Structure 1
Amino acid sequence: MIVITAPTGNIGRHLLPLLLRSAPVRGEELRVIVRDPARLPDAVRERVEVVSGSHGTAEVVDRAFEGADAVFWLVPPDASLAPHDAYSGFTLPAANALAAHGVGHVVGVSALGRGTAVAGRAGLVTASLAMDDLIAGTGAAYRALASPSFFENLLEEAGSIRENGVFTDVVAADRKAPMVAVADIAAVAARLLLDRSWTGTADVPVVGPEDLSPDDLARIIGEQLGRPVRYERQKPHDLRDTLVGYGLNEAFVQGIVDMKQAKDDGLDAGITRTPDAASRTTFERWCAETLMPALHP
């Protein structure tokens, strides 16, 4: 039995079809935890066991993890909480249930940066790494999918790119760093969940084929869009003021700002691309298949 949390989220919606294709062949049953089962397609609900509710609550994860062999763990972003509460606080009931039910394997979505000089002051990433430690302490074999920034983050900038030819962030324009498509994270998760020959605890970096700077992204987007696109660097305090103005928790916002500043200081740098770590989706392909349709609704 494989349990999938957040099956309708950005990664889960790619992961669940992969497991539905392969799990029955291997004799695996699937169980999902979802707040609103109506968000699952009818064809999916017919093929999985559904546990309704939040996977941050003890009663829900206790029911969901009973008899489970493996769990896919993803913490949904909650900007109403401080980073520690949003990650370790949310995960604590699940950690208790993993230990209580003797779940053997867990695959979780986490972040790059462990062992770097800036990992302790990286905001949301620091909180995510502490969550990994919490899960690793349950006795389950654990693989943390250590990911950089997602290509999909640029979808939040689609309106600005379409209307003004501009996107923003706080990192230097020439700061090259890895990025990744969420579909590639899902593919690695599916492989690990279906072939559970691994033991112990380890990070599994999942990064795209090449490092890219914001200026690289702007050039590639502009080439596909057929008109110039530019990157504008935003000051961290301006980002903070904007997000707080949206009503987000101030500590969570500071966690975002600290994470972005840590990335500008090289948090994601120095990754060696092994066959397991390097994902297949190039930024050019992602732009053509995902960003361009969003820019031409």
Structure 2
Amino acid sequence: MIVITAPTGNIGGHLLPLLLESAPARGEELRVIVRDAARLTDAVRERVEVITGSHGDPEVVDRAFEGADAVFWLVPPDASLTPEDAYSGFTRPAAKALVAHGVGHVVGVSALGRGTPVADRAGLVTASHAMDDLIAGTGVAYRALANPSFFENVLEEAGSLREKGVFTDAVDADRRVPLVAVADIAAVAADLLLDRTWTGSDSVPVLGPQDLSPDDLARIMTEQLGRPVRYERQPLDELYDTLVGYRLNEAFAQGIVDMKRAKNEGLDAGVARTPATATPTTFEQWCAQTLKPAVLSDLSDLS
């Protein structure tokens, strides 16, 4: 039995179909924890066991982990909380349930940067690493998917790209870093969940096919969208004020700022890309398949 948390999210939405395709042939049953079961299609609900509720709820994870062999763990960060409460606080009930039910394997979504000079002052990333330690401390076999930033973060800029041809971030325009598609993260998670011959606790870097800078992203988006795109760097103090203006918890907002600062100081640069750590989807491919329809569809609606 494999339990999937956040099955309708960015990563879970790619992971669940992969497991539905492969798990039955291996004799694996699937169980999902979801707040709103209506977000699952009828076809999916017919093939999985559904536990309704939050996977931060002790009663929910206690029911969900009974009889489970493996768990896919993803914390949906709650910006109304401090980073510690959003990650480790949310995960503590699950950690207790893992022990109580003797779950053998957990694959978690985490971040790059462990062991780097800035790892202990990297905001949300530091909090995610503490969550990893909490899960590993239960004695389960644990693999933390150590991810850089996602291609999908650019989708938050779709409106600005559509209206002004501009996207923003808080890092140097020429700083090249790894970036990855969420579909590729899901594929790595599926492989680990289905082949549980691994033991102990470790991280699994998921680095995408190449390092890219914001200037590289602007060039590729210009080519793929067929319209000029440029990058504007947002000062960190301005980013903080913007986040607090959106009513984020001040500590959580500071956690985002600290993460951005750490990324600009080399947080994601400590792992070499090898055939084992690289993933296949290029930014060009992702732009053509995902970003371009999101940005240009509204333009066609207005024409």
Q: When the two structures are superposed, what TM-score results if normalisation uses the length of structure 2? A: 0.97
SS in 1 for 2:44: helix
- Tell me the residue number matched to 2:112: 112
- Tell me the residue number matched to 1:196: 196
Contact between 2:32 and 2:49, CA under 8 Å: does it hold in 1? Answer: yes
Measure the CA separation in 1 of the matches of 2:185 and 2:277.
10
Residue 77 of structure 1: how far off its partner (Å): 1.7
- Tell me the residue number matched to 2:219: 219
Measured on the aligned residues, the alpha-carbon RMSD in Å equals 0.5
Residue 116 of structure 1: how far off its partner (Å): 0.2
Any residues of structure 2 matched to 1:96-175 within 5 Å, and which?
A: 96-175=96-175
- Tell me the residue number matched to 1:64: 64
Seq. identity, %: 80
Residue 12 of structure 1: how far off its partner (Å): 0.3
Count of residue pairs the alignment pairs up? 297
- Tell me the residue number matched to 1:11: 11
Measure the CA separation in 2 of the matches of 1:283 and 1:88.
32
SS in 1 for 2:212: coil
Runs of 4+ in 1 over 2 A off after TM superposition: none
SS in 1 for 2:88: helix
Cα shift readout 1:99-136 (whole Å, capped 9, x = no counterpart): 11110000000000000000000000000000000000
Cα shift readout 1:261-280 (whole Å, capped 9, x = no counterpart): 00000000132122221000
SS in 2 for 1:296: helix
SS in 2 for 1:266: coil
Whichever residue aligns with residue 22 of structure 1, its letter is S
Cα shift readout 1:59-95 (whole Å, capped 9, x = no counterpart): 0000000000000000002100000000000000000
- Tell me the residue number matched to 1:183: 183
- Tell me the residue number matched to 1:79: 79
SS in 2 for 1:291: helix
Any residues of structure 2 matched to 1:23-62 within 5 Å, and which?
A: 23-62=23-62
Measure the CA separation in 2 of the matches of 1:276 and 1:69.
25
- Tell me the residue number matched to 2:209: 209
Measure the CA separation in 1 of the matches of 2:84 and 2:270.
26
Measure the CA separation in 1 of the matches of 2:39 and 2:158.
24
Cα shift readout 1:220-252 (whole Å, capped 9, x = no counterpart): 000111121110011000000011001111100
Whichever residue aligns with residue 286 of structure 1, its letter is W
Measure the CA separation in 2 of the matches of 1:4 and 1:150.
20
Measure the CA separation in 1 of the matches of 2:275 and 2:51.
35
Whichever residue aligns with residue 68 of structure 1, its letter is A
Measure the CA separation in 1 of the matches of 2:270 and 2:130.
21
Unaligned runs of 5+ in 2: 298-303
Measure the CA separation in 2 of the matches of 1:256 and 1:132.
18
Measure the CA separation in 2 of the matches of 1:291 and 1:267.
26
Whichever residue aligns with residue 269 of structure 1, its letter is A
Whichever residue aligns with residue 139 of structure 1, its letter is G
Any residues of structure 2 matched to 1:245-256 within 5 Å, and which?
A: 245-256=245-256
Q: When the two structures are superposed, what TM-score results if normalisation uses the length of structure 1? A: 0.99
